[in-house]
């Protein structure tokens, strides 16, 4: 699959780990290329602000990684949205993983060297990339806490990690919510992601007349190829005048 060329009528929804950044052994050991914040800033400017990071990380973690770039963010799989105007919206209310569950996973991980428990404002993720042989133990532990039909919480599967988070959180709903307001409204959405947690976001982009691109298929599984494509997009966009994006008529 060859990605479409960027144009000024696009809006970009970009996953972070595995899409813009290479997957690392632990969440804290990711390496942010020195030119990535500037690249995102250039795209943000050329697209009139219609760019959002859509990730499992918290909004605060995104800001820490991408400083000085600041833009729209859907954090924790859409549990928290930061809109273009800086307004922060908690889409799941005060719903967060019970302390008892967090503690149970922390205690379990003490017996599994290499397994890391990452606490988030609304959820908790368990990473086993450093101990792949413990993947089965981790899966059994989280599934013992969260039944498939649990009303309030569900599991988010990722690369060598599994997360418990609010059922109401969804990257697809985050895309729909952001697309309802300027500067996203009226544009063609393009969502780029790399794993199962991104599928809802890609489906939402397609349903809204855009595209969903999987890194493995469109970029040979390489975040560096995603960044290179975005850099070429900056060059193309800089040569094209902004479009007339008058709001669509109708209810």
Instruction: Map out the domains of the chain with their CATH numbers.
Output: 10-91+169-238 (3.40.50.1000), 99-166 (3.30.70.1020)
For the chain, give the mean pLDDT. 93
Between CA 91 and CA 220 the distance in angstroms is 34
User: What does pTM read for this prediction?
Assistant: 0.92
Q: Is the pLDDT of residue 248 over 60?
A: no
Task: Choose the weakest-confidence range: 9-23, 54-68, 119-133, 235-249.
Answer: 235-249
pLDDT surpassing 50 at residue 144 = yes
Flag whether pLDDT at 17 surpasses 60.
yes
Residue 75 near residue 55, CB atoms below 8 Å: yes
What integer pLDDT is reported at residue 99 of this predicted model?
Answer: 94
The answer to whether residue 7 is catalytic is no
pLDDT at 250: 37
What single string gives the DSSP state of each residue in 118-132?
Answer: EE-SS-EEEE-TT-G
Predicted confidence at residue 96, as pLDDT, reads 92
> In this model, does residue 227 exceed pLDDT 70?
yes
Q: What percent of the chain has pLDDT over 90?
A: 88
CA distance 153 to 113: 27
Binning pLDDT at 50, 70 and 90, where does residue 223 land?
Answer: very high
The reported pLDDT for the residue numbered 93 is: 81
Q: Quick check: 241 pLDDT over 80?
A: no
Per-residue confidence (pLDDT) for residue 240, from 0 to 100: 72
The reported pLDDT for the residue numbered 246 is: 47
The pLDDT value given to residue 4: 77
Higher pLDDT, 5 or 89: 89
Per-residue pLDDT at 42: 96
Question: What number of other Cβ atoms are within 10 A of residue 206's Cβ?
Answer: 13
119 φ, ψ (degrees, to nearest 5): -85, 140
Residue 176 has pLDDT above 50, yes or no: yes
Answer with the residue of higher pLDDT: 121 or 249: 121
Question: Average pLDDT for residues 131-149, to the nearest whole number?
Answer: 95
Catalytic residue among 15, 63, 194, 195: 15
Q: Which residues of 130-158 are buried (b: 16+ CB within 10 A; e: fewer)?
A: ebeebbebbeebbeebbeeeeeebbbbeb
Q: How confident is the model at residue 245 (pLDDT cuts 50, 70, 90)?
A: low
State the pLDDT at residue 102: 95
Q: What sign results for the dihedral spanned by CA atoms 119, 70, 52, 31?
A: negative
């Amino acid at each position: 699959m060859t990605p479409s060329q960027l144009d000024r009528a696009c809006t970009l929804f970009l996953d972070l780990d595995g899409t813009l950044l290479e997957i690392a052994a632990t969440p804290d050991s990711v390496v942010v290329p020195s030119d990535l914040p500037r690249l995102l800033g250039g795209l943000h400017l050329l697209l009139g602000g219609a760019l959002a990071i859509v990730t499992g990380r918290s909004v605060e973690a995104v800001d820490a990684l991408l400083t000085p770039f600041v833009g729209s963010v859907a954090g924790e799989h859409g549990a928290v949205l930061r809109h273009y105007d800086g307004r922060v919206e908690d889409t799941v209310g005060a719903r967060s993983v019970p302390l008892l569950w967090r503690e149970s996973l922390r205690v379990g991980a003490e017996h599994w060297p290499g397994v890391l428990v990452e606490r988030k404002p609304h959820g908790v993720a368990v990473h086993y990339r450093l101990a792949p042989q413990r993947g089965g133990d981790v899966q059994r532990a989280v599934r013992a806490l969260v039944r498939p039909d649990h009303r309030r919480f569900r599991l988010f599967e990722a690369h060598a990690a599994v997360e418990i988070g609010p059922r109401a959180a969804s990257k697809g709903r985050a895309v729909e919510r952001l697309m309802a307001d300027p500067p996203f409204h009226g544009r063609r959405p393009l969502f780029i992601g790399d794993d199962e947690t991104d599928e809802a976001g890609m489906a939402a982009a397609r349903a809204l007349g855009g595209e969903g691109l999987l890194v493995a298929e469109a970029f040979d599984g390489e975040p560096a190829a995603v960044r290179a494509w975005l850099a070429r997009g900056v060059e193309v966009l800089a040569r094209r005048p902004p479009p007339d994006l008058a709001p669509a008529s109708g209810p």
